[in-house]
């Protein structure tokens, strides 16, 4: 009798626990948190996040990115866009289930992945804050990032390839909030010299050289794409957009500037200088 009574008590406790769990309201849950990590580690974490979202079909996935005070403002939306692109394009999640959030500034770069059931919301970090003062009367660099060209087959496998311009939407919002400011976009094409040794069967070493120099239209091509996206997608007037070829750098790079009037435009800073061809 004692054994049967004990079993009944245990079953009753389990039923009560299940009933309480069912009655308890759903809560937002932080699934993962990390800083600046390697691409392989990032993919593994995102794969686990995608599986959790697939197992919770009614929940949303929130991507919250906080930058450090040393980072440019566009970093948050660019990093979040890269993550969302991977979850949608590679893991097959619906785009409307993935929400990106610019968390502002924190003590350091932090990326958070949240599982959000209906009727709940993620909790901001306690150490997050917005800038108390932004000098809107001076030139501001909003973001900078490397870009690729369609012929870069190897680079196209990089996870940043699709979402490299993820900060453009946030950049457009800043421009719309400052209707008198100009958008200055400085584009740097690429130039560098690759050198490597090669040893033959007799032990003789020969140095090989290959020059990587973008065609003259490389900067113009990416400039047209950026301007078209700002105009057609984000509704920035073409007259407000200034494109500058900044000269060559060792890696292709693009800078987004907000320039209030009547400030002078930013100065380009190339770091690679190909030799001019001698006239024959």
pLDDT tens string 144-190: 998 887 776 554 455 444 446 788 999 999 999 999 999 999 999 99
Domain residues of the chain, as ranges? 26-128, 134-280
Question: In the predicted model, is pLDDT for residue 66 greater than 90?
Answer: yes
Long-range interactions of 47-55: CB distance < 8 A, separation 24+: 47/91, 49/87, 49/113, 50/87, 50/91, 50/92, 50/93, 52/115, 53/87, 53/93, 53/97, 53/115, 54/93
Which pLDDT value is given to residue 20?
A: 47
Question: Distance between CA atoms of 97 and 117, rounded to whole angstroms?
Answer: 11
Whole-model pTM? Answer: 0.81
At 192, is the pLDDT very low, low, confident or very high (cuts 50, 70, 90)? very high
Judge if 26-128 and 134-280 fold alike in CATH terms: yes
At 121, is the pLDDT very low, low, confident or very high (cuts 50, 70, 90)? very high
* 3-state DSSP percent of the chain in helix, strand and coil, to 5: 35, 30, 40
Least confident of 44-58, 75-89, 132-146: 132-146
Report the topology of domain 26-128: 60s Ribosomal Protein L30; Chain: A; (3.30.1330)
Question: Distance between CA atoms of 245 and 225, rounded to whole angstroms?
Answer: 14
11-39 residue pLDDT tens: 566 565 555 445 556 899 999 999 999 88
Which pLDDT value is given to residue 258?
A: 96
CATH class of residue range 134-280: alpha beta
- Is residue 10 within a helix (H) or strand (E), and if so which, with residue range? helix 2-23
CB 196 within 8 A of CB 259: no
Work out the average pLDDT over 137-149.
90
Average pLDDT value for the chain: 86
């Amino acid at each position: 009798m004692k054994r049967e009574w004990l079993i009944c008590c245990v079953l009753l406790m389990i039923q009560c626990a299940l009933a309480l769990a069912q009655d308890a309201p759903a809560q937002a849950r932080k699934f993962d948190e990390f800083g600046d990590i390697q691409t392989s580690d990032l993919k593994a974490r995102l794969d686990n996040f995608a599986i959790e979202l697939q197992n919770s079909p009614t929940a949303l996935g929130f991507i919250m990115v906080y930058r450090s005070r040393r980072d440019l403002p566009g970093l948050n939306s660019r990093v979040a866009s890269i993550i969302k692109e991977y979850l949608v394009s590679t893991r097959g999640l619906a785009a409307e289930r993935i929400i990106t959030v610019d968390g502002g500034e924190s003590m350091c770069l932090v990326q958070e992945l949240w599982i959000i059931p209906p009727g709940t919301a993620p909790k901001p970090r306690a150490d997050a804050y917005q800038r108390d003062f932004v000098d809107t009367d001076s030139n501001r660099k909003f973001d900078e990032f490397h870009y690729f060209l369609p012929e870069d087959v190897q680079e196209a496998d990089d996870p940043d390839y699709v979402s490299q311009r993820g900060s453009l939407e946030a950049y457009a919002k800043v421009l719309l909030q400052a209707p008198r400011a100009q958008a200055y976009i400085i584009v740097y094409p690429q130039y560098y010299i690759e050198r490597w040794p090669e040893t033959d069967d007799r032990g003789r070493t020969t140095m090989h050289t290959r020059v990587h120099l973008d065609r003259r239209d490389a900067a113009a091509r990416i400039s047209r794409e950026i301007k078209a996206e700002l105009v057609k997608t984000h509704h920035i007037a073409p007259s407000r957009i200034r494109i500058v070829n900044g000269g060559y750098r060792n890696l292709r790079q693009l800078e987004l500037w907000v320039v209030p009037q009547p400030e002078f435009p930013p100065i380009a800073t190339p770091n690679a200088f190909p030799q001019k061809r001698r006239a024959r």
